[in-house]
Amino acid sequence: MPKKFRVGLLLFPGCMPAGLFAFADLLHAANRRGGRTLFEATYVALQAGPVTCARGIGLHAEKALGDADLDAVLVPGFWAESAGQVDTLLAGQAPLLRELSKRPRRQLWAYCTGVCLLAACGRLDGQGATITWWLAQAMQEQYGKVRWQSEQNCVFNERNATASGVNGYLPIAEQLIERNVSRDVLRDITRLMVLPRPAVPHAAFQGIALIQQPDGLLRRLHGLVEQIPAERITVKVLAGRLAMSERTLARRVGDETGQTVAAYARCIKLNQVAERLTLTSLPLASIGAELGFSSSSNLQRMFKALTGLTPVQYRRQFGRV
């Protein structure tokens, strides 16, 4: 019988544990679907015992990180609104950083601001990694040995995985299940555990999904727009990334969609907003920050101009949570 894969769910003061709960549930579902214990999830911390997480939530670490026999450790994000707040938390976690730097054969995974802990302990040096977009510049300046790929949502390496956003635990869990079990099991669990999109999307977003694009250029453009923070998207940036002139890009997008590049890109980005409104209970400010909009007021204005609905009205009409 194959050996079970042991994952430590890391707790530390101020961490946001919601993603750890969801990750553990997905692994439990994989065990149930497989009919045996494929994965074992254990809450760990620098020391075993109670840990005060974000918003004063108290959780219990079953084992000390250094004593636990683990194949991998998942590092969650923590609440921060500036690079300075990140530095403050890291400064208070020196013992945890030292422990994370040990045992190089153990895999380390992190998402959202949790990636900062992996960078600070040196485990990302020389490796590709991603980070939540608003921290990208600060991380590039502070941890120059890391090959930052902030335009990517997820980056997987042999010994680590990093993902951006508060829901970054999901692609890590999906890859773990697909690699260690099967694609069919992942599909079944996704249908059961991951909230579906609305059966009938708003008219503004019908046909906008990446998989529905028949043209290769539109698929490349679509994926690119989804990865870049909204406030950084310009026709010049997109044309440069696609290795073509702005005029050529404008002509081809116009021929295929009847829209300008800016209008088409705006629709793609607002579709990401719409998906988060329907699939999560995150406030608009958090959604806007994750996707790189300059302000909530600008986001609300653009969203209503496209859909005729405010974000609150859209969530009420199309939301699943």
We report the CATH number of the domain holding residue 253 as: 1.10.10.60
CB 149 within 8 A of CB 166: no
Q: Does residue 56 lie within any of the structural domains?
A: yes
| pLDDT grade for 116, boundaries at 50, 70 and 90 | very high
Domain shared by 147 and 181, yes or no: yes
Q: How confident is the model at residue 207 (pLDDT cuts 50, 70, 90)?
A: confident
| DSSP annotation string for 196-228 | PPPSS--GGGTT-SGGG--SHHHHHHHHHHHHS
Question: Strand runs (DSSP E) across 19-86, as ranges?
Answer: 39-45, 49-52, 58-61, 63-64, 72-75
Q: For position 82, what pLDDT does the model report?
A: 86
17 and 120 both lie in a single domain: yes
Q: pLDDT band for 34, please (50, 70, 90 cuts).
A: confident
Give dist(CA 122, CA 98) in Å, integer: 9
Distance, in Å, from the CA atom of 125 to the CA atom of 274, rounded to the nearest integer, reads 36
Question: Is residue 118 assigned to a domain?
Answer: yes
N residues, the chain: 321
1 confidence band (pLDDT: 50, 70, 90): very low
The answer to whether the beta carbons of residues 198 and 320 sit under 8 Å apart is yes
State how far the Cα of 36 lies from the Cα of 279, in Å rounded to an integer: 30
Q: Is residue 139 part of a domain?
A: yes
pLDDT at 196 over 70: no
Residues 175 and 58 both lie in one domain: yes
In this structure, what CATH number is given to the domain that contains residue 55? 3.40.50.880
Statement: residue 61 has pLDDT above 70: yes
User: What's the rounded mean pLDDT across residues 112-131?
Assistant: 96
Query: Residue 56 is part of which domain span?
Result: 5-189
* 308-319 mean pLDDT: 91
Q: Residue written as tokens 């900062």?
A: 116
Alpha-helix residue ranges (DSSP H) falling in the chain: 18-34, 83-91, 94-101, 115-120, 136-142, 169-180, 183-193, 216-227, 235-241, 246-257, 261-279, 284-291, 296-307, 311-318
Rounded to the nearest integer, the mean pLDDT of the chain is 91
The packing angle between helices 296-307 and 261-279, to 10°, is: 100
Q: Is the pLDDT reported for residue 260 higher than 70?
A: yes
CB neighbourhood size of 194 (10 A): 13
Write the CB contacts of 233 (distance below 8 Å, at least 6 apart in sequence). Answer: 225, 265, 269
Domain stop point among 160, 189, 218: 189
Could you tell me if residue 194 is inside a domain? no
Q: What is the total count of domains within the chain?
A: 2
CA end-to-end span of the chain: 39
- Helices 261-279, 216-227: axis angle to 10 degrees equals 60
- What is the arithmetic mean of pLDDT over 161-185? 91
Whether 96 and 152 share a structural domain: yes
Residue 213 lies in a domain: yes
Average pLDDT (300-304) is 96
- For the ranges 94-103, 182-191, 201-210, the lowest mean pLDDT is seen at 201-210
| pLDDT per position as a tens digit, 79-109 | 988 889 999 999 999 999 999 999 888 999 9
Are residue 181 and residue 59 in the same domain, yes or no?
yes
- The band of 193, judged by pLDDT with boundaries at 50, 70 and 90, is confident
Specify if 198 maps to a domain: no
Same domain (yes/no): 129, 266:
no
Sequence-separated (6 or more) residues with CB below 8 Å from residue 5: 38, 39, 40, 71, 72, 176, 180
Taking 70 as the threshold, does the pLDDT of residue 2 lie above it?
no
